[in-house]
A = this chain, B = another copy of it.
């Protein structure tokens, strides 16, 4: 009846009509928003990045990671771990970036198995510019729509969800327990 129902559109198809009596309107709206909003933002930001810099978010993740370290060099496995992409994906995205002279593959001196990706000057430039583009998009599409309290609540809620989902990555290699974000 209220506006909340508008955002509850698709959720019933996944969870069943039962939730209309079992869950509150807020619970439904919170879950449906969490599942529906990010893909739309991702798509929009990908589009924008593509239009202004011919980059995808994955590419920018790799370039940005390289830009953040001294000398702008990292092994592909490190890049995969840092960005959360699979190593095979990293290898292929680096293929593309290398073709565009944004990075160079250089063999690692100390380890003949390893390959380092070295950011070029053009790559560093593009990364900086693309990051600025993305920052303003995030401000426009996300931050500007929320007040300070909401941002704080989101932050703490997500932090808890993150801990809930990924109890690993911590010190104890024992208490793993099938985290959602585990590899």
A interface, CB within 8 angstroms of B: 3-4, 6-7, 10, 12-19, 22-27, 29-44, 57, 60-62, 64-65, 67-68, 82-84, 127-128, 131-132, 134-135, 138, 141-143, 145-146, 148-162, 164-166, 180-181
Distance between Cα atoms of A32 and B83 in the complex (Å): 12
6 extra interface residue pairs, beta carbon distance < 8 Å, beyond A30-B158, A37-B162, A41-B180 = A10-B83, A15-B64, A25-B155, A30-B151, A40-B165, A141-B164
A84 in complex: contacting residue of B10, B12, B68, B141, CB < 8 Å? B10
A19–B150 CB distance below 8 A: no
Q: Is the interface of A mostly helix, strand, loop or mixed?
A: helix
Count this chain's copies in the assembly.
Answer: 2
A155–B13 CB distance below 8 A: no
Distance between Cα atoms of A62 and B128 in the complex (Å): 42
A83–B13 CB distance below 8 A: yes
B37–A135 CB distance below 8 A: no
Q: How far is the CB of A83 from chain B (nearest CB, A)?
A: 6
Residues in chain B near residue A158, CB distance under 8 A: 7, 29-30, 32-34, 37
B41–A38 CB distance below 8 A: no
Distance between Cα atoms of A37 and B131 in the complex (Å): 21
